[in-house]
Structure 1
Amino acid sequence: MNGLFRPIDTTNGLKLLGERNSGTNLLTGLLTQVPNLKLFPSTPLLRQRDMPLYRRPWTAPLVYKAAHEATLDDWHLRDLPQTGGWKHAAPDAAFLKQFLEEFTPAVLIILRHPAVWLRSMHRNPFHALNPVPRDFSKFIRQEWLCVGRDSLERRILPNLPHLQAAKANAYSNLLSQYPNSSLIRYEDLASDPTGTLAKIGVALPPRTELPGNDARGFARRQSSGTDYAAAARQARFDLLSPADAAFTREAQADSPLSAIYQT
């Protein structure tokens, strides 16, 4: 994929993009430590205190999943011209015209190994609109319903590996069209955060360390002493069953993921 480790100019700020469960929170935590770096924020989470302002009755987003997601879809469109919107969205023509052409920031994209990403999505299926099967093999094979702010042409995809592939294709298009953009892999960041970001021209302060626990707030209660480097070294397709690995590879064969993650 074009743009892997390409140096970027962050003079006008930086917008981070990446699929959910791909390390965006970990990367954000590191980038916020860089002096004088302006980070364009993602669309905020929908909190209970915000609900009365956007939906009636105020309990609707709690009770009805679709109402919750529709509110976040609205917020993405609201924020797109000022911040670039939802960090997990596919960069589309509106992202380029309404945001990039206006602010000309750097764009940094992060990808994660498909096998590890699928496992993480099964544990934490953020914004899944379909019921989530307990069985992993069934989960990755069932249709995936996209939320509006995924910003993909199709709202119904054959399966979850196709979602990651569709996002990767959108990232590839942006990397080809917008020179001030770069791509990194989660596995490189977790193994060597300082060296990985130095390749793209972003200097972390001396002695910057990865967090001791999972960088995602919801996960701090779940684990402690996260070894990011050790987990990154285990990222490979044989974490899946042979059938699941073959299914994933076939679903993503026409995306840049097949070249970036070969083992």
Structure 2
Amino acid sequence: MTAHFATSSDGTGIAFERFGDGPPVVLVGGALSVRGAGVPLAEELAGLGLSAVVYDRRGRGDSGDTEPYAPAREAEDLAAVVAAVRREEDGGQAYAFGMSSGGLVVLEGAARGASLSRIVLFEPPFTGAAGQPQDPARVARLAELVGRGERGEAVSHFLAEIIGLPPQAVEGARRSPAWEDMKKIAHTLCYDTALLGDATLPDETLAAVRVPALVLSSDESTPVLQEASRATAEALPHAEYRSLPGAFHQVPPEDLAPVVRDFLTA
């Protein structure tokens, strides 16, 4: 499918694709993902009467990248995509779904006034809310590796030392067909760590989110991620929390889509 482009406030072109016809829900991917990662969920949502939009976050895929980076720029990117896909025939309604660190973008966008009616977050990684704040030394090491152009080492460091995957999982990632694509966007891992900060709950941002929110987690994710999701829901002014059957940090799109659709269209 041919990509369309929205222009963010700083002039950066943001590539997006749209699936289906109906009120739009913009899907925001997590770390090390491009828009293609959201297509399975987008297709499921399109089959349920929504118009699902996937996009490349800045610095990834077909989107541009303008320095210097700041979390506010990603909120502006989301707002630009929302503005490009909202339609009068849908009553101006638009929604957003954020996967992992993509949920941080959704929160920033909603807090800063993006025209969203409802939002869904899947396991926003505020691990500090569960007693595991982000280690600044590990973040600094990531930036050092990226700065030296050691992309493979940067991805491995992120997976092992920041995400906390076991050695066999990191080795599996290095041997996977997706490894070269992950290396291409290794520099955006610094964007994700900047979004997350120290991984504690951003109280001012959460308090500024006035729209209804659903925070989801998988029952097979780590207790830390589940607790972070629950704490996020409790801190938002108008939110509910649900745990769904799934695997680590994921729920099958065919099971996730009906839950997302039912909440967004309630």
* TM-score, reference length from structure 1: 0.33
* TM-score, reference length from structure 2: 0.33
Q: In proportion to residue count, which structure has more strand?
A: 2
Task: Specify the structure having the higher radius of gyration (Cα).
Answer: 1
